Amino acid sequence: MTSALELAADGIGSVEPNPAVGCLIEKSGRIIGRGKHERYGGPHAEINALADCRSRQADPEGATIYVTLEPCCHRGKTGPCSEAIIRAKPAGVVIAAQDPSAHADGAGIRQLREAGIRVTVGVCEAEARRLNAPFYHFVQTGKTWIVLKWAQSLDGKLARVDPTRNPWISGEQSRADAHRLRRRTQAILVGINTVLIDNPLLTPRPSGGRRPLRIVMDSDLRIPLNSQLLQTASDHPLLIVTDAQTLTREAGKAKEIERRGGQILTRKMDIEHGNLRPLQDELRTRGVQQLLVEGGPKTLGAFLEQGLANEVCVYIAPMVLGVEGCASLGTALARKVCQTPLCHLETKRLGPDLRLRGLTAPIT
Ligand SMILES: [Zn+2]
């Protein structure tokens, strides 16, 4: 199951909003098939593993199938895996975790058992639930999984005072990794200051066919009409969150934004002093399973202070910026926010940088 989970993890960044799934088929102590869910809309892991089996001219009859998620039994984008498994006549199926979706929730397991297959559920369950934490969170609570991401120097600076010489804090490998993080999510959010300072595109590169919704928190509607975000709004969805009073005052600009393809959302929201819950409701309505918050410090701070972050991903560059650095997260926070350390902590070297990832609450 550990190997199946490793296979599944390869799909992260390509399968969302589907869960990442891996599958191994074992017979007489030998792996005769392996498969994973490779991309959204593509065949499921079980189908790929059975196909792999056939391509090796191995027979899955009497084998044991290890799969990290309950096989589906509904006809979605691909045929039901439960039926394909039953046709393959394995002796047993070992499942890491049940699928909590309304259309599954044990139905796939029941179907396999009714066909006389021995089914074991719950092997490496916590690991499987951690791998697809945003999927479980969204299905079970109806809430968007929120990831905060930033890059910082050793002295905690998120930006350079003069970004013209070198706008980056982190190295090339960290930035490529951050694009994979963007491919995972269905929406990416920044504050207006980030737009004014960095003029970002906020698209994943390479896109892998992904077009996450780009969201800007812009209470005074200061987004420049010539910003990269607005210039690309007809191809990549853009949502500007502002307040109702601004909209009345800036009606002309709002119209121009909409003409260029941007959408405007006004909800009673005090971004500065913190009430982001209406944004959460909007994300849920739009079916956004994962939101990536990319900054700057004020916006990241607002999510931290309201306890809305589920996951934190920080790229730490081995340099001290001193007076050449600015935008420290610590000074953007009005109050102490994190009483307990992050859990399920992972560290990874990315070139010269260190990536630190963790969750704000344990998954057991
Ligand atoms: Zn399936």
Domains 2-126 and 142-359 share a fold: no
Contact yes or no for 152/316 (Cβ under 8 A) = yes
CA distances from 223 to 166, 193, 220 (A): 23, 9, 9
Q: What are the extents of the domains in the chain?
A: 2-126, 142-359
Q: Kindly list the protein residues that place their beta carbon closer than 5 angstroms to ligand 1, a single-atom ion.
A: 44, 72, 81
Helix, strand, coil distribution of the chain in percent, nearest 5: 30, 25, 45
Enumerate the β-bridge partners of residue 215. Answer: 189, 239
Report CA(157)–ligand 1 centroid distance (Å).
45
Q: In 325-364, where do the E strands start and end?
A: 325-328, 343-350, 353-359
**Which residue intervals of the chain are DSSP H helices?**
2-9, 45-55, 81-88, 107-114, 125-131, 133-141, 172-184, 192-198, 228-231, 244-249, 251-259, 277-285, 297-305, 329-332
CA-based radius of gyration for the chain: 23
Please tell me whether residue 328 adopts helix, strand or coil conformation: strand
CA distances from 248 to 148, 222, 268, 269 (A): 32, 14, 14, 16
Report CA(146)–ligand 1 centroid distance (Å).
26
Per CATH, domain 142-359 is 3.40.430.10: yes
Burial class (CB in 10 A: 0-12, 13-18, 19+), 162: exposed
Please tell me whether residue 305 adopts helix, strand or coil conformation: helix
Q: What is the residue whose two structure tokens read 């006809």? A: 75
Q: Which residues contact 224 (CB under 8 A, 6 or more apart)?
A: 195, 196, 199, 230
Report CA(183)–ligand 1 centroid distance (Å).
22
Report CA(284)–ligand 1 centroid distance (Å).
25
Report CA(17)–ligand 1 centroid distance (Å).
14
Report CA(357)–ligand 1 centroid distance (Å).
29
Query: Rounded to the nearest 10 degrees, what angle do helices 107-114 and 81-88 cross at?
Result: 20
Report CA(78)–ligand 1 centroid distance (Å).
7
Our answer to whether residue 46 is catalytic in this structure is yes
According to CATH, the superfamily of the domain at 2-126 is Cytidine Deaminase, domain 2 (3.40.140.10)
The catalytically annotated residue of 16, 26, 38, 46 is 46
Q: What is the residue whose two structure tokens read 């109806």? A: 142
Q: What is the residue whose two structure tokens read 């089996």? A: 53
Per-residue pLDDT of the chain (364 residues), as tens digits, is 999 999 999 999 999 999 999 999 999 999 999 999 999 999 999 999 999 999 999 999 999 999 999 999 976 666 799 999 999 999 999 999 999 998 888 999 999 999 999 999 999 999 999 999 999 999 999 999 999 999 999 999 999 988 787 878 999 999 999 999 999 999 999 999 999 999 999 999 999 889 999 999 998 999 999 999 999 999 999 999 998 889 999 999 999 999 999 999 987 665 555 678 788 889 999 999 999 999 889 999 889 888 899 999 999 999 999 999 988 887 777 777 766 789 999 999 999 999 999 999 999 8
Report CA(292)–ligand 1 centroid distance (Å).
27
pTM, to two decimals: 0.92
Q: Write out the two tokens for 57.
A: 């001219």
